[in-house]
Amino acid sequence: MTNTLNHNAAQNDDVVHPEPEDDEQEDEEEEDDDDDDVLPNLRTPQSPASKLQQQRFKVETLARRLSSEMVPIRVHDVLVNGNTKTKDWVIEAELKGIETATTMQDLMRACEAAIARLQALEIFDSCKVRLEPGPKELPNTANVVVDVVEANNTVSGECGVYTKPSTSSWSLECALKYKNLLGYGDIWDTSLAYGGSQATELSLGVYAPRIKRLLTPIVARIMLVSQDWQEFSSYKEQLLGASIGLISTKHHDLVYTLGWRTLTDPSQTSSRSIRRQLGHSLLSSLKYTFKMDRRNSSIRPTRGYAFLSTTHLGGLSPDHRSLRFLRQMTSFSAVFPWGQGFMNKTSPLPERFYLGGDFSPVCTLGGPTTLWGFKTRGLGPTEPRRQSRNRADDNNSDSPGWDFIGGDLAVTAFADLSFDLPIKWLREHGIHGHVFAGSGNAAKLTQNEYKHFSPRKFLESFRTSVGCGIVIPTRLFRLEGNYFHILRKDEHDRGKTGFRFSFSAPS
Amino acid sequence: MAENEINTLVVRKPCFGLPTGCTQCLSAYLYLKFAQLPFQLDFHLNYPDSDQIPYFEVGNYVAYNNEKGGVIDCLKRDVGVVDLDSGISSLPDWIQTKAMLTTWLADALAYELWVGSEGYSSSPAYTIYYSDLSWPLGKVLFWRKARWIKQKHGINNENAELKKEEIYRRAKSAYGALSTWLGEQSYLFDNRPSSLDATFLAHGLVVLQALPESSVLRSKLLEHANLVRYVQQCKTEFIDDNPTPTYSWQFHTAGSSSTSSRSTSSSKTKSKPKREKTEEEKTFKRRSKYFVAAQLVAVVVFITIMTSFDDAEVDLDE
């Protein structure tokens, strides 16, 4: 009898508490002891109307109790139903906080959080949590029952456009995902990306939220990346490798990469220092990123601060012939090689700093790479490319062109002042104006160039640009129409005064 | 003279007592020595599968080996290096000897280095080409080259022995013919050094110095005393007098410094009549791309703003 009433109480719950959109459903049922206190006429048969009245009374009492006081409860058992492929411990690991809840309110909050975490795994079609009364001999206890429905469609496809601050470019990415192959909540994906600088990437990756006792998710990827820097620096880069994410939290990220990198120059026009770096190298590196973003918005930040520090250490192998370098990127960056005789060695070409690009430094947290008004790899140390073959015919020969060889030390700074526009419609949509100024420089330090380095000369040769424009922030990206005026640039820099559109995505 | 104005021949690794262990690089080295052109050596160690090496640099000029005629022909044409082959390069004997050197003997040495050796680490090819690459990279590249050589000769498991004998037989015939041709002379043709002497001497030096004593090819060369004398003489005159350049990790720094933005470049004449047309076309194409992109962006922005406007209306309704 009691159980039937409890069931009816659950049914009426649906009337009193309409189900939220994400299919969360909690059937709240009274503890047996409370039923005895609250309900009169338990044993006499009742008409449907009076039954309904009693149920309503019960629920109202419960709601009043929940809103006015902490209702003590203890979780006796947590049961998982519906998982045929997924391992129990994968689901149980997401149910933290439920077992330790001491009050009804805590329990409800913990259940909501658990459902959100389970849905974030992307391997279930639906997740529901039910509370059932515990054993009769243990008062004030409840059993938590988790009902999951595993996804029917394990294969899904995705297509998107993403930013790559490291190369100041966009990439179009298409991915095919296979979910829960091994039952660990693992997601396997094959993706093909095509982007700026004719960068193409084919990769196969796996993501697993946890493996048994390991606290951090497992992220591993095998990739074949190819990038064409022929236009700027006369070389093409290919990388065949694998990366493993060791630590991945909100602020910290640690990734190990092992790869075979090849630099080639099919056009055979590269400058001297690039020519000497062509060939094969083994990349074995650890990259640690610390990120703190306290800005109130990444599209139009008006308050707060953000800090990004990336430390990339290469050469982590017993073989001294692998690429050795240390790259540190914050607001003040430096790159230099290490190992025996490191003072004389040159830094690896792809690890140097290349300034320039279309992204706005306001919303992109990518380090000192972009500078308003200058094109991708548009400023920094340069070297003349190979001269045409016929040296006797110098007068008619074309000038050879210049390679941007990147710097070992790069510093950029920017200031951006944004203001609302007078038209109301523009203000409502967040469209605002801004004036800005940016400055940056890159210098070579390796191969004994540090002996010629002078801070005064470095400061004097800072490139500077100013400008103004209109910013149209959208949900996905930030569109800017700007007029740049380059105040100072070097002879070979690729930057122009003029009007330009650019759009960048927050990161 | 600025550092990068010095004649520099960039070659593969010096080893086995030779200025470079690679036959093509050594042959270019010897030719320049014969031509008495002053130059210095520099080394490119991490690109064993490149056909650009050896290359010759002076200033911003570079002559790569994979360009027409090879690095030596490019230098004869562009830099004015003495043509040591004038008057003899059209002789029928010249062409036959060249064919023999560049096919039979070159193939035999390549076979010996990559296929005939007992393994990756014990092969002299490892020291010459791969010792500066990390182990997995070197191993894969070595295997790739060995496979290419087998494919070139059509070698498979069934005919491996036959092919091996054929390759060594041809090398033996070539050595015999060269030995007969050379006789007691100091050089192969006209008693003066030529590019064929550079080619053969480079081959001979690598065979005698780099290959192990158990090598079949080496023993075949040792059967011809006059060829050995010829190679030793060259070694004494051109190699031993110039001690092997000290090799270390500083190979990048030998005579190099990047010009960077501090260098004064040659005068740049920006407007050239014959390029104006293509510049205009490029500008036009670029502008049309910007126009299309601007249209696309305007559409996207319109849709996004209107969508957010609609969302706002829906919120108000609720």
Mean pLDDT of chain B, nearest integer: 83
CB contact under 8 Å between B260 and A381, yes or no, is yes
Minimal C-alpha gap between B302 and chain A (Å) = 10
Q: Which of A345, A390, A429 sits opposite B252 (nearest CB)?
A: A345
Whether A399 contacts chain B with CB within 8 A: yes
Which chain A residue is nearest to residue B63, measuring alpha carbons? A389
B contacts of A448 (beta carbons < 8 Å): 253, 257
Q: Alpha helices of A46-188 — where are they, by DSSP H?
A: 48-68, 88-92, 104-120
- Tell me how far apart the alpha carbons of residues A20 and A40 are, in angstroms, rounded to a whole number: 32
Please say if the pLDDT value at position B248 is more than 90. no
Q: Tell me what percent of the residues of chain A surpass a pLDDT of 70.
A: 79
Closest residue by Cα to residue A360 from A268, A434, A260:
A434
CB A391 within 8 A of CB B78: yes
Q: Which residue has the higher pLDDT, A72 or B153?
A: B153
CB contact under 8 Å between A346 and B252, yes or no, is yes
B contacts of A400 (beta carbons < 8 Å): 60
Binned at pLDDT 50, 70 and 90, residue A448 comes out as: confident
Strand partners, B292: none
- Which two tokens mark A460? 């004097």
Please say if the pLDDT value at position A496 is more than 70. yes
Please say if the pLDDT value at position B224 is more than 90. yes
Q: Tell me what percent of the residues of chain B surpass a pLDDT of 70.
A: 83
Q: Which residue has the higher pLDDT, A13 or B197?
A: B197
Whether A393 contacts chain B with CB within 8 A: no
CB B121 within 8 A of CB B131: no
Q: Which residue has the higher pLDDT, A378 or A21?
A: A378
Strand partners, A465: A438, A486
- Would you say the C-alpha torsion B105, B111, B114, B116 has a positive or negative sign? negative
Rounded to two decimals, the pTM is 0.74
Please say if the pLDDT value at position B230 is more than 90. yes
Please say if the pLDDT value at position A120 is more than 50. yes
**A219-228, A404-413, B303-312: range with highest mean pLDDT:** A219-228
Binned at pLDDT 50, 70 and 90, residue B306 comes out as: confident
List, edge to edge, every strand of the sheet that includes A74-81. Answer: A74-81, A141-150, A124-133
Which chain A residue is nearest to residue B55, measuring alpha carbons? A275
B contacts of A349 (beta carbons < 8 Å): none
Binned at pLDDT 50, 70 and 90, residue A337 comes out as: low
Minimal C-alpha gap between B231 and chain A (Å) = 32
| pLDDT for position A164 | 65
DSSP output for A413-475: EEEEEEEE-S-HHHHHTT-EEEEEEEEEEEE--TTTGGGG--HHHHHHT-EEEEEEEEEEE-S
Q: Is the ipTM of this complex over 0.90?
A: no
Q: Tell me what percent of the residues of chain A surpass a pLDDT of 90.
A: 11
DSSP output for B181-217: HHTT-SSSBTTB--HHHHHHHHHHHHHHHHS-TT-HH
Q: A136-195, pLDDT tens digit by residue?
A: 888 888 888 888 888 877 788 888 877 765 566 677 888 898 888 887 888 898 999 888
Please say if the pLDDT value at position B13 is more than 90. yes
Please say if the pLDDT value at position B12 is more than 80. yes
Cβ neighbors of A34 (< 8 A, separation 6 or more) are none
Which region holds residue A62: left if phi is over 0, alpha if psi is between -120 and 50, else beta?
alpha
| pLDDT for position A405 | 86
Please say if the pLDDT value at position A14 is more than 50. no
| pLDDT for position A44 | 58
Report DSSP state, residue A477: -
| pLDDT for position B78 | 85
- Which two tokens mark B215? 């090598």
CB contact under 8 Å between B134 and A321, yes or no, is yes
- Tell me how far apart the alpha carbons of residues B89 and A253 are, in angstroms, rounded to a whole number: 65
- Tell me how far apart the alpha carbons of residues A202 and A193 are, in angstroms, rounded to a whole number: 7
Residues in chain A, overall count: 507
| pLDDT for position B285 | 81
Please say if the pLDDT value at position A6 is more than 50. no
Within a 10 A sphere around the Cβ of A253, how many other Cβ atoms?
17
Binned at pLDDT 50, 70 and 90, residue B20 comes out as: very high
Within a 10 A sphere around the Cβ of A108, how many other Cβ atoms?
17
Within a 10 A sphere around the Cβ of A149, how many other Cβ atoms?
14
Q: Which of residues 238-267 of A touch B (CB under 8 A)?
A: 260
In a 3-state reduction of DSSP, which class is residue A263? strand
- Tell me how far apart the alpha carbons of residues A402 and A382 are, in angstroms, rounded to a whole number: 6
DSSP output for A18-55: PPPTT---------HHHHHHH-S--SS---HHHHHHHH
Please say if the pLDDT value at position A323 is more than 80. no
Binned at pLDDT 50, 70 and 90, residue A340 comes out as: low
Within a 10 A sphere around the Cβ of A318, how many other Cβ atoms?
8
A contacts of B260 (beta carbons < 8 Å): 381-383, 405, 444, 449
A contacts of B266 (beta carbons < 8 Å): 399
| pLDDT for position A16 | 35
- Tell me how far apart the alpha carbons of residues A288 and A314 are, in angstroms, rounded to a whole number: 12
CB contact under 8 Å between A272 and B300, yes or no, is no
Q: Which residue has the higher pLDDT, B31 or A14?
A: B31
CB contact under 8 Å between A474 and B57, yes or no, is no
CB A458 within 8 A of CB A443: yes
Q: A244-300, pLDDT tens digit by residue?
A: 998 888 888 899 999 999 999 999 999 998 999 999 999 999 999 888 777 777 666
- Which two tokens mark A481? 């129409």
Q: Which of A271, A322, A386 sits opposite B134 (nearest CB)?
A: A322
A contacts of B60 (beta carbons < 8 Å): 271-272, 384-387, 400
| pLDDT for position A9 | 37
Q: Which of residues 250-279 of B touch A (CB under 8 A)?
A: 250, 252-253, 256-263, 265-266, 268-269, 272, 275
For the segment A57-86, the average pLDDT, to the nearest whole number, is 83
Please say if the pLDDT value at position A393 is more than 50. no
**A30-44, A273-287, B80-94, B230-244: range with highest mean pLDDT:** A273-287
Cβ neighbors of B253 (< 8 A, separation 6 or more) are A344, A447, A448
CB contact under 8 Å between A273 and B258, yes or no, is yes
Please say if the pLDDT value at position A7 is more than 80. no
CB contact under 8 Å between B248 and A341, yes or no, is yes
For the segment A92-118, the average pLDDT, to the nearest whole number, is 84
Closest residue by Cα to residue A443 from A495, A380, A377, A391:
A380
In a 3-state reduction of DSSP, which class is residue A317? coil
CB contact under 8 Å between A272 and B64, yes or no, is no
Please say if the pLDDT value at position A363 is more than 70. no
| pLDDT for position B114 | 92
Chain A interface, best mutation among B44, B137, B282, by max A CB count within 10 A: B137
Binned at pLDDT 50, 70 and 90, residue A28 comes out as: very low
**Dihedrals φ, ψ of A436, to 5°?**
-150, 165
- Would you say the C-alpha torsion B159, B162, B168, B172 has a positive or negative sign? negative
Total CB pairs under 8 A between chain A and B: 144
A contacts of B52 (beta carbons < 8 Å): 268, 278
Q: Which of residues 106-145 of B touch A (CB under 8 A)?
A: 132-137, 140-141
CB contact under 8 Å between A386 and B62, yes or no, is yes
Q: Which of B59, B78, B259 sits opposite A389 (nearest CB)?
A: B78
In a 3-state reduction of DSSP, which class is residue B290? helix
Binned at pLDDT 50, 70 and 90, residue A504 comes out as: confident
Cβ neighbors of A25 (< 8 A, separation 6 or more) are A19, A128, A129, A130
In a 3-state reduction of DSSP, which class is residue A397? coil
Please say if the pLDDT value at position B152 is more than 90. yes
Binned at pLDDT 50, 70 and 90, residue A79 comes out as: confident
CB A478 within 8 A of CB A506: yes
Least confident of A215-219, B45-49, B75-79, B133-137: A215-219
Whether A387 contacts chain B with CB within 8 A: yes
Q: B251-302, pLDDT tens digit by residue?
A: 333 333 333 333 333 344 444 545 555 677 778 888 888 888 888 888 877 7
Q: How many helices (H) and strands (E) does chain B have?
A: 11, 4
